[in-house]
Amino acid sequence: MRILKKIAIACLCLILILPQGAMGEAQEEIKLSADAAILIEASTGRVIWEKNADERRYPASMTKMMTGLLTLENLSDSTEVLISANAANTEDVPMGIQAGELLQAGELLNGLLMLSDNGAAVALAEQIGGSVSSFAEMMNAKAEKLGMENTHFVNPNGLTDSNHYSTARDMAKLARHVMQDEKFREIVGQQKQLIRWSLPKDKMLMAENTNELLGKYEGMTGIKTGWTQAAGGCLAASAKRGGLELIVVVMHAETPKDRFKDAEKLLDYGFEHTRLVRGVNKDRFRGQAWVKNGREAQVGLDLAEDINYVLIDGEEKKNYKVAYESQPVLAAPVKKGQKVGAAKLLYKGEQVGEVDILADKNVGAGSDWLSWLVGAFEPLFQRI
């Protein structure tokens, strides 16, 4: 009895001296090779699990998510891109591009995002920004806009540079954003794709995606691999099951294989501990705003997408609320799809997601009498 009493006292002391967070962390411990990682739900960005998510690491070729995004925003698929000597001579060009060759931007995007071709990244950067350094400025401006607070880019491909860094959290923000683009999703979801050159016309290459989880992990939808000696194994990966899509980022895994194993562990954990329930259907949302100095005095408001409630472990739907914040008076002209507010998703009062509120039609500048009144008595209409 005395021995049992001593053991009980020892166990009690151990519990009392443990840090408060240690018990919770022990319950959800996942052993990873990567020394930084994060798992989020895609529709809201809610964090399900994280490890050193705000510590700076080299992102390696996950950088190419940003390069691909800027390419889609600035070039059409059919834009012809001339391969410079600088692009052709870049380290690691699995496409085998050579100076003087010509490819359409869409073909280079396949090489960029599937084969992780560093030269393709340089060629696209030069086409869009005029130079790698100018393109890097565009990358950093976009990163700031996306709220990537601990990221700085100096090149379009992720080759190691002490001033080129990011975090798991920032890479997850980028991954979540790019996967909202249907063209981007299409490219990174391909296991194989034939790449054709414009010049020489007979040159082609069958590209195989470097993401080994495609076709192997249930529901895998993308996204981008990365590897350098300095960065270690990096991977941004996404998978979707039953309407629930998860995004995982791992950084600095010990080997290229470890990054995939780590991602599988985290995704398995996420699908086991997370469920998605219907919140607000965008087709049932009804909103309106006044328009001053326009051809019409009112415009309808739409939600950009459905609002779903993400429930992690024992969370309850009743703890969710949606706060709608939009501009009551808009100045003409108003464009269809223009962001005029946001529906903020709150869980126990804390914001965990946000969906844009958009104007549902164009309203040109004009002299509608009621719209004139809205402008003349704007403070009053602000309160209506």
Is residue 78 annotated as part of the catalytic site, yes or no? no
- How far is Cα 83 from Cα 102, in angstroms, rounded to an integer? 6
Give how far the C-alpha of residue 225 lies from the chain's centroid of Cα atoms, to the nearest Å: 14
Give the three-state DSSP class for 10.
helix
Q: Write down the catalytic residue from 116, 166, 238, 326.
A: 116
The answer to whether the beta carbons of residues 236 and 246 sit under 8 Å apart is no
DSSP 314: T
Please classify residue 314 by burial: count the beta carbons closer than 10 Å to its beta carbon, then call 0-12 exposed, 13-18 middle and 19+ buried.
exposed
Say how many Å lie between the first and final Cα of the chain, rounded: 76
Element holding 379 (H helix, E strand): helix 378-383
What's 87-111 look like in SS3?
A: HHCCCCCCCCCCCCCEEEHHHHHHH
The answer to whether the beta carbons of residues 266 and 37 sit under 8 Å apart is yes
Is residue 64 annotated as part of the catalytic site, yes or no? yes
DSSP letter string, 42-63? TTT--EEEEESTTS-B--GGGG
Is residue 240 annotated as part of the catalytic site, yes or no? no
Q: Write down the catalytic residue from 33, 43, 51, 61.
A: 61
- How far is Cα 47 from Cα 41, in angstroms, rounded to an integer? 7
What contacts 154, CB < 8 A, 6 or more positions away? 133, 136, 161, 163, 164
Q: Write down the catalytic residue from 43, 51, 64, 166.
A: 64
Residue whose pair of structure tokens reads 């050579």 in the numeric block: 98
The distance between the two most distant Cα atoms of the chain, rounded to a whole number of Å, is: 92
Residues carrying an active site annotation: 61, 64, 116
